[in-house]
Structure 1
Amino acid sequence: MPPRDCERYDDFLLLIGDFGPFQKRLLFWMMPAAFLFAFTYFGQIFMILLPKNHWCKVSELQGLPENEQKNRGIPKKSDGSYENCFMYNIPYNSNKTNDANETRSKVPCNNGWIYDRKEVPYESIATEYDWVCDKEDFGTYSVVVYFVGCIVGCLCFGYITDHSGRLVALFLANACSMIGGCVSAVCKDFPCFAASRFVTGLAMNYCFVPIYILTLENVGMKYRTLVGNLALTFSFTLGACLLPWLAYAFSNWRHYAMVVAVPVVLMILTSLLAPESPRWTGE
């Protein structure tokens, strides 16, 4: 039995029900939040994928089988693999062996690249804008910028969560996630993409943490482990597992970026419809 004075909020929960209709409704809100959390957290991975196997496009050899294009126009490294960033200055156009290529000089790629579509069977921003060779770190930089946004977002939305309410932070964070994701889909260069990923990164934790806090602080102690892990182990995992199949199905990173970003509107609506935590309003 709870203490008669019920000085703590947890004492009231024992009286009014620590896993009743109200808590189950909160769990209902939290499950899709965890699902979409995976979209915000992992979505960028499939936008910046780059096939390890790529080589210079040689205009004079277009139309030939892939192996013959590489054999005639692409130098080999010391380990026997083909160069990713260099081509021969003059393509070898006879049926002789590649040994004759050794008498020619190699030059940087000047007509774009060809990518192995068996490795990444769709267009990513890295393949569309040739983030290779001297630009090969652009994908890594975009991830760094994303996590810098996460640091800023944790500081800002953490303060908002404590001082303005869980739902205010949930609304603002998911607005950042949706806006940043939609802008990513229309970017045509690295600065634009990096800026959009920074905005998305602001939301990385707080697109989910406020509803997670709100739910757990209104559930009885004995149910918190079950409720907290149910959303993360089931919904979050399901969302993460779905992402590569979405990238494969839509076959274009722009379409995929929109598909990942737009459903976040559901969490914006949730922040407007879900009840604020009685624990916070009592602080």
Structure 2
Amino acid sequence: MVRKMQKRDIGTQATGDTGDNNDNTAERLPHRTSEEKSQQTGSYHGRDFRIQSENSSIASDEDKSRPSAVEIDTYIDFDDLLPEIGEFGCYQKMLFLLMIPFCFISAYVYLSQIFMTLTPEKYYCFVHDLTLIESEQERKELSIPKLKDGSYSRCEMYDTNYTAIYKAKNRTQFMNSSLPRIPCREGYVFSSSEAFFTANIEFGWVCDNDFYATYAQMIFFLGSVLGCLGYGHFADHCGRLAALVSSCSLAFFGSLFTGMTKNFWSFVVTRLIVGAAYDTCFTMIYILMLEYVGPKYRTFVANMSLAMFYSPFTMLIPWIAIYLHSWRSFALYGCIPLAFGFVSFCCLPESARWLVSRGKIDDAIDILKRVAARNKRVVPPVYWKRFRESCELFYKEEFEGRNFTVFSIFKRPRLARYMVFMCLIWMIMSLLYDGHVRAASVLDKENVAVVFTIACATELPGDLLVIVTLDRFGRRWCAFTFTTLSGLFSLVGANLSHPTHTLVAALAGRFFANVCYNIGLQWAAEVLPTVVRAQGISLIHTLGFAAMLLSPPVIYLSNLSLSLMLNTLGGLGIVGGIICLFLPETLYEDLPQTLSDGNNFGKDQRMWHQPCCGEGRRRIAHTKHTWHEGSSLRTLSRDEFRSKKLHRVAVVKTRASRQYAPSFVSVSRGPSLLSQGTEILQRVQNLRQDSTHQKPK
């Protein structure tokens, strides 16, 4: 869905950012002792802005013409810059409010398909020869057989001569329940009390043709899979804003032409187009929002945007459909908000991270300066200079270094196992969530709008529960608990005889499915290493859409038995919860950045590891990456670095000074920046001491 989603490219940006939200500062800044940190703390918002003059007492006259050690040593990343330009100021609040129309777009694109193909509850076979009989009850008695419960069949009629019945003076003699039965052959009569005129009613997708609605739902998700793959490539090459505008445009024209379709094939083609836009039309604004928000606000903003905007719109969708009454009107008028995507270029900024990745560093800095100006923050020029140099170095290293693909994950056994488990968990969570969303339309067919609204209302407390529990009890046990509870309540509901009790249990299963779905994508972003995080998340998200292809067939099982449908969802929840226990906990952990880190991640955790109850670790020694330099854009492992510049900890020159540097510290040919008692010398000595106790990778 859109949901929550939506969130494929959150792997590219936002999911990576969400994962970085739990990284400690040491992952992005050089490793320093507490004494060094206190020495290097500047007066401007806790940042280090000391320049060359501080080193004048320890450097020669020749050194004064060179950049300071701090300028060379420190890399400024986006997460380092955000506190200076404002983490959640006026600009970010404006972006937060601009998510409102896109949340409606997301809810409409995802849920409109359900109501357009909603199967009516009351109908029976149409018999043309009996249309002139005024009494509907008499027509049913003459043509429609009764079922065991006393109701009239919806898909069968008597095989007899209806012309003779109509002309007979005494029609009651032809009322014979022992007559042979045949499927409806002249169409159907639908109840005038139906609140919404669906495509199923217009095209006759009921009884033997009811599979057409299921196929239409599946083709919608097929479009989502294709769109997920296509727009991932498009967004990387043309920009996040371009992907947002084009996907909204695609959804607009797809919905517009949906209201003009005349048959099944034209209907599914337009829904395939709308499905291709689904996910992207929300995740791009979701990414932009999270990118410009500071790390400590991202969990709050990510979940509150869904709780405050997305959830209320999902509750509103069925009532909009009922108000418009017809599926064609719903398709035509409902797409009007999609036109907001056309003006996104005027309201939204481009992704600054994407601009840097494409070498457009000046454009990225211009946007960030506008953010600082709107937030009324003043950033010293030296800080912009360091940020520019960091971006230029990163851009150069991207082209000089090695490239990693999602297939690199499967070269490391433990990391490959994590990837397989995460794919399975996300597919189960996606199928479980989407299955429960669609189940609301069949749990009580006489009160679909009311039940659907109540089911969607569970989104809000579910989002709030994630905020309260996820950073307290950890990802693993939360995912296990909520996924298992979703499965258990579904199983309980399947085996209850009273319809109201079954409905309540199924809604409880829906509530916990909401919670586990919110956990899944963030957890995947934290388990996967930085160097393959974007591609890994994209693959996982695509497989999630592929799993959603199975949710319409699962809901179709309700035509056979409601218990069979709920038992299937319950079994999926139990299996998914068990698999969650085989992934590592990421709360309070230094998240992996390289393939080697990912392969070693979680090795020291015991099976019952629970962050809120203690570390739960095995007592083994850890290898510290003491030579890691600053930016979270960089990798750590020596055999996976993108450029040899990544090993530079200090600029060293003279033979005498080399004795203080460990073997992996690069040595330049420039003038020395080391002298006795300096900060740089102290850092190198600390590195040398660490290297004598542990061998670097």
Q: Confirm or deny: 8 A CA contact 2:252 2:339 kept in the other structure.
A: yes
Q: Report the AA paired with residue 157 of structure 2.
A: M
- Aligned counterparts, 1:187-226, within 5 A: 187-226=261-300
CA distance in 1, matches of 2:207, 2:124: 10
Show the counterpart of 2:211: 137
Show the counterpart of 1:111: 186
**Residue 96 of structure 1: CA displacement?**
3.9
CA distance in 1, matches of 2:287, 2:173: 67
Q: Report the AA paired with residue 233 of structure 2.
A: Y
Write out per-residue CA displacement over residues 15-51 of structure 1, whole angstroms, 9 at most, x where no aligned residue.
1111122212221222221122100111111111121
SS in 1 for 2:280: coil
**Residue 95 of structure 1: CA displacement?**
6.3
CA distance in 2, matches of 1:156, 1:90: 57
User: Which is worse superposed, 224-233 or 33-42?
Assistant: 224-233
**Residue 77 of structure 1: CA displacement?**
3.5
Matched, 1:84 2:154: yes
- Aligned counterparts, 1:123-134, within 5 A: 123-134=197-208
User: Which is worse superposed, 44-53 or 1-10?
Assistant: 1-10
Write out per-residue CA displacement over residues 177-202 of structure 1, whole angstroms, 9 at most, x where no aligned residue.
11111111000100000000000000
Matched, 1:58 2:146: no
Q: 1:271 to 1:229 in 2, by over 3 A?
A: farther
Matched, 1:183 2:247: no
SS in 2 for 1:214: helix
User: Which is worse superposed, 159-168 or 254-263?
Assistant: 159-168
Q: Report the AA paired with residue 299 of structure 2.
A: T
CA distance in 2, matches of 1:146, 1:198: 5
CA distance in 2, matches of 1:106, 1:3: 86
CA distance in 2, matches of 1:122, 1:12: 52
Q: Confirm or deny: 8 A CA contact 1:36 1:236 kept in the other structure.
A: no
Q: Report the AA paired with residue 130 of structure 2.
A: L
Q: Confirm or deny: 8 A CA contact 2:241 2:345 kept in the other structure.
A: yes
Show the counterpart of 2:87: 18
**Residue 67 of structure 1: CA displacement?**
3.0
**Residue 84 of structure 1: CA displacement?**
2.2
Matched, 1:275 2:344: no
CA distance in 2, matches of 1:106, 1:140: 27
**Residue 273 of structure 1: CA displacement?**
3.3
Q: Report the AA paired with residue 90 of structure 1.
A: N
Show the counterpart of 1:69: 139
Matched, 1:171 2:245: yes
CA distance in 1, matches of 2:183, 2:48: 78
Q: Report the AA paired with residue 279 of structure 2.
A: N
Q: Report the AA paired with residue 35 of structure 1.
A: F
Show the counterpart of 1:101: 176
Matched, 1:258 2:329: no
Q: 1:3 to 1:26 in 2, by over 3 A?
A: farther
The TM-score, its normalising length taken from structure 1, stands at 0.91
Selected match of 1:40 from 90, 109, 114? 109
Q: Confirm or deny: 8 A CA contact 2:101 2:337 kept in the other structure.
A: no
Write out per-residue CA displacement over residues 65-96 of structure 1, whole angstroms, 9 at most, x where no aligned residue.
33332222102245543222222223456464
Q: Which has the higher contact order (CA 8 A, sep 6+)?
A: 1
SS in 2 for 1:55: strand
User: Which is worse superposed, 22-31 or 257-266?
Assistant: 22-31
CA distance in 1, matches of 2:136, 2:75: 76
**Residue 272 of structure 1: CA displacement?**
4.6
**Residue 161 of structure 1: CA displacement?**
2.1
The structure that has the greater radius of gyration is: 2
CA distance in 1, matches of 2:48, 2:145: 80
Q: Report the AA paired with residue 234 of structure 1.
A: M
Q: Confirm or deny: 8 A CA contact 1:181 1:258 kept in the other structure.
A: yes
User: Which is worse superposed, 155-164 or 256-265?
Assistant: 155-164
Matched, 1:29 2:98: yes
CA distance in 1, matches of 2:178, 2:294: 78
Q: 1:225 to 1:58 in 2, by over 3 A?
A: same
Q: Confirm or deny: 8 A CA contact 1:6 1:12 kept in the other structure.
A: no
Q: Report the AA paired with residue 304 of structure 2.
A: L
SS in 2 for 1:107: strand
Q: 1:281 to 1:81 in 2, by over 3 A?
A: same
Show the counterpart of 2:588: none
Q: 1:87 to 1:224 in 2, by over 3 A?
A: same
Q: Report the AA paired with residue 74 of structure 1.
A: I
SS in 1 for 2:195: coil
The TM-score, its normalising length taken from structure 2, stands at 0.39
Unpaired runs of at least 5, structure 2: 1-45, 50-73, 358-697
SS in 2 for 1:64: coil
CA distance in 2, matches of 1:244, 1:65: 33
Percent of aligned positions that are identical: 35
Show the counterpart of 1:237: 311
**Residue 104 of structure 1: CA displacement?**
3.0
**Residue 155 of structure 1: CA displacement?**
0.8
